[in-house]
Copies of this chain bind each other. A is one copy, B any other.
Amino acid sequence: MEYESLLKQIENDNIHGASYLIEVGAEGALALLKEGEISKLPEFAERLMKAQPSMAPILNFGAFLLAQYKDKREDGEKLRESIISYVDNFRKSRKKSLENAENLIENGDIVVTHSFSSSVLEVLKLAREKGKKFEVLCTESRPQREGLILAQRLSGMGIKTYLTTDMGIFSLIEGRASSLLFGVDAFLKSGIVNKVGTAPMAKYAGNRGIPVFFVADSFKILPEEVMGYFRLRSGKSEEILEKPPENLEIVNPYFDVTPYSVVRGIAIETGVTGPLEFLEKAFGVNTNP
């Protein structure tokens, strides 16, 4: 049962982003079909969604598998084709969204980001490959400090990079930043889910007229009907303090939600859209007064 081990891999993963894990998930679903276990597809999809309840693309892929099973359970070959085409579409959308975001980087820019986003890394790499000259300001991003990895990767590409504490970033935003660029964990109707710290940074910049951009493909949009599976994960308390004494409670949030009102633009596969246009397209929000 190859699909079982692939599922376990996803369940135990704490490192990779959705763009990697969706490939593993698709591989698992295809293995399941190949092993003639079509009837287990709904259970597989449910487990996939519960394994990574903060990752919108995984939830959407699970919901897609459930819907496909309803439609095509009699035809394994058609199901297989749908899955392959879904993942192909996902890859193409991701690539296009990164290219669109690259247009946001200009010569001489000083770009602020937060934590580690493979999308942001790719966008900056593309801009660098086009010969654009810019600098990047990174946060260390507690508690896991993924920002160190991003800063090392960027500086390794020859990009002048600055790394500061999470609280240190605010005066850099105020004094130096041209723009802020973040990845996305999920687009909700109420705001954009990303690593904790994104929302205060975005609000701080928004209040000062510094443009805030997000980059993601539309597979990160979480429709209302999938929201039941969605959960904002928190971290373990040991990441902040081992064995807290009585009367001391550790609060270790991993995510926060940035309101669309402080966002200048969202780069998805169809281009860079303003927040109102995005809300209308993604959630059917009527933004005409």
Contacts and interface: CB of A to CB of B under 8 A. Distances in A.
Question: How many copies of this chain sit in the oligomeric assembly?
Answer: 2
B248 A172 contact: no
Interface stretch (A13-21, A81-89, A249-257): A249-257
Contacts of A196: 165, 167-168, 171
A129 B166 CA distance: 35
B164 A250 contact: yes
Interface in A159-185: 159-168, 170-172
A287 interface: no
A103 interface: no
Interface stretch (A2-10, A60-68, A150-158, A267-275): A150-158
A142 B167 contact: yes
Nearest to A158: B247
A252 B167 CA distance: 10
B163 A249 contact: yes
Nearest to A200: B170
Nearest to A195: B167
Given A161-B249, A165-B240, A171 B140 contact: no
A165 B151 contact: no
A144 to B, nearest CB: 10
B248 A161 contact: yes
A150 to B, nearest CB: 11
Contacts of A57: none
A199 interface: yes
A171 B162 CA distance: 26
Interface in A229-273: 240-241, 244-253, 256
A240 B161 contact: no
B142 A256 contact: no
A114 to B, nearest CB: 8
A250 B138 CA distance: 10
Contact of A167 (B172, B197, B246, B249): B197
A247 B138 CA distance: 13
A207 interface: yes
A127 B73 CA distance: 67
A121 interface: no
A182 to B, nearest CB: 13
A162 B200 contact: no
Contact of A163 (B155, B197, B241): B241
Interface of A: 140-143, 148, 151-152, 154-156, 158-168, 170-172, 196-197, 199-200, 203-204, 207, 240-241, 244-253, 256
